[in-house]
Amino acid sequence: MCGIFFSLSASQPVLPNEETCCLLRKRGPDSFQVHQVQRNANTNQTRTVRTFLTFVSTVLSIRGDHIVIQPLVDTVTQSVFCWNGDAWKVAGEPIRGNDTQLIFNLLLQAVRPPYDSEPSNAIDDAGSVQRIIDVISSISGPFSFVFYDAVNAKLYFSRDCLGRRSLLQGLDETGALKICSLCDGTSSTHFEEVATTGVHMVDLTQTVFQDSPTSDISTTHFNPSSLQTLPWEDIDSPGHLKTPIPPMNRSIPQDIPPQLSVESPCVNDLEQRLRTSLTLRVHNVREPPSFTTESNAKVAVLFSGGLDCTILARLSHELLPSDESIDLLNVAFENPRVAAAMSKEAKTGLVYENCPDRITGRAAFAELQTVCPDRNWRFVAIDIPYVETVAHRDTVKRLMRPHNTEMDLSIACALYFASRGQGQALDSQQGSTEPKPYTTPARILLSGLGADELFAGYGRHGIAYLRSGFEGLIDEIDLDVSRLGKRNLGRDNRVIAHWGREARFPYLDENFVSWAVQAPVWEKCGFGLPDPNPEESSAGIDPEKRALRLVALKLGMSNVAREKKRAIQFGSRTAKMEKGRVKGTDALS
C-alpha cells in the first residue's frame, strides 16, 4: 500500500499541504520522498511556459525482501513512476517478489523506441502508447498509479478496472491539476474519483494549459480537454485496454434448475477458485515491524462472523503455517440510541456484547475453534465508546471524501476502527478466558467485500427476482458489480489504509470475478430452486449466496452457512447514532 500525490502546474511546483502529507505518511509509514521535474510546454503559437511536475510517494512495504523507495526515477530517460498496487500476475505469470520495480521496467521498455539504431530524440508516439496499453492490460491485481513518460512527454494515470485502490483528481485555485490517493486538504480543490473506465493520458506536447478568462489575476489553468481516456474494452482493438472482466452471463433456465448441494460441481469449483485467489493474498507476506513470537499474526480478517469473512478465515487456516496466529478483528460501537433503551444494569458490559456482529463474531469464533482446533485464532474485540466515535468523526469524514452521506460515514466509521486493530484479545489456544489489551501487528487485512455483489447476497436481489424473475436478478447483480469502484472501494481504501494496513479482497480477484460473472445465476444463488428435503444437510440454507453457503457447509461451518446477511453499519451499530429522522442517502452537513 502506498500514498500518491502528483501535481501539474504552469506557475510553480505545487506540493501537498502539511495535513495531506501527514495522511499520506499514515498510508505509507516506511518511506516518504518527493521528486520534481521542470519542462517547457507550448501553451499557444506564440509563447512557451515552464511546466512543473511534482511527484510525492509514501510506501507501506509488504512484498519482497527490501523497501523499494518511490517515486522511482529512471536515470537514463528521467521517466517517473508512482505505484500503489499489488500485481499478482503479469501476462498470466505469478510475481513472487516486489512488483513495483518490475512494472516500472516494463513501462520503461514500452516507452523506448523499438530500435537502438534510432536517434535518441526520436519520438515513437503511437507505438509507445500502444505498448503502454499492452503493459497495463497484462497486469492482474489491484492498482492505481501515475507514470510520466519523459521520452514521449506523456503522463498516464489510472486505477484498475474494478477500482480497488483509491485515486482522486481535481483542479485547485491556481489552475494546477492534482492527482492524489486522498483529497488534498485545500478546500478550494474539488476532487472526484478517477474513473475506472480506462487509462487517462495527458500529452504534454499539446496544449495542456489555458489562460483563465474570469480570474482577477493572470493565471494559467490546466485544460481538461487535454485529458484523453484509453478505455477498457471486452474485445481486442488498437488503442483500447483489454478488460479482464467479461460481460455478465444472461442465460435464463428453460426449466426448474437442478438443486444445489455440497456435491455440485459448481460448488467445488467455487471453493477451489476462491482458494486460489486467497493463496495469492496470504502467501509471501513479509513479517511486519511489530511481529513477535507472542504476536505473530501476519494476516488478520475484518471479522463480523458472517458468511463471507468466516469462509476466508477458514480457508486461510489451510494456507498459512500452523504456528502462525490469525487475528479476527471484530468491532462493536456504543450507540446512544440503543443504549438509551437499555436498563442501567443491562448497559454494564452488554452495550458491546449485544451488538449483532459481536454475537455472530463470537459464535463463528467458537465454530472455527471446533473445526480447526490446532490453529491459534485470536478474537480481537474492538469496543468503541460513543465519545471516541465523536472524537474521530472529522478524521473519518476527511478520509472518505469526496463521499459525503450518512451511510458513507456509518460504513467508514466501522472500517476505520476495525482496521486500527486495537482491542481486547482472546487467544483460542492459551486456555485463558480473560482477554488482554492487544493491537494486531498484521498489515494484511482480509475483507469479504464483493461476495454479496457477485452471489446475490443483498435483500434487494430477492426483491428483484420476485419482481422480474431471473432477468431482473441478473440486472441487479450486473449493476452491483459495475459500480463497486465508485460506491465502495475507493472510500474503503482511504479509510483502512490510514492505519498503515492493506485490505485485500479475495472475492474481487480478476480471475475469480470473471468466473463468477460467467457462471449461470442459478449456480450462484438459490432463487427459483426447489427447497432441499428437510433431512438433507443443506436444509434451512437461504437462497442468497447459496453456493457460498454450501462451501461453508462443506468446510464444516454448519452454523455460519445459515447466518443471515447483515449490513456492517447495522451489525456494528454505527448507523443512526443520534436522534432524528436521518436517511442513509442524506448528505452530511
Just list the catalytic residues: 2
Containing 36, the helix (H) or strand (E) segment is strand 31-42
Phi-psi region of 346 (alpha: psi -120 to 50; beta: other; left: phi over 0): alpha
Residue type, 519: A
Report residue 155 CA to chain centroid gap.
Answer: 24
Taking alpha carbons only, the member of 501, 305, 495, 503 closest to residue 409 is 495
Residue type, 338: V
Q: What share of the chain is helix, strand, coil (3-state, %, to 5)?
A: 35, 20, 45
| Terminal Cα-to-Cα distance of the chain (whole angstroms) | 31
How many other C-beta atoms lie within 10 A of the C-beta of residue 571?
24
Q: Is 576 helix (H, G, I), strand (E, B) or coil?
A: coil
Containing 89, the helix (H) or strand (E) segment is strand 89-90
Transcribe 225-248 into DSSP letters. Answer: GGEEEEEEESS--TTSEE-SSPPP
User: Phi first, then psi: what are they for 245, rounded to 5°?
Assistant: -100, 115
Q: Which residue in the block uniquely carries the three cell numbers 530517460? A: 77
DSSP 587: B
Angle between helices 265-282 and 307-319 (to 10 degrees): 70
Q: What is the spatial distance between Cα 360 and Cα 305, in angstroms, rounded to a whole number? A: 5
**Would you say 383 and 332 are in contact if contact means Cβ atoms under 8 Å apart?**
yes
Q: What is the spatial distance between Cα 195 and Cα 487, in angstroms, rounded to a whole number? A: 12
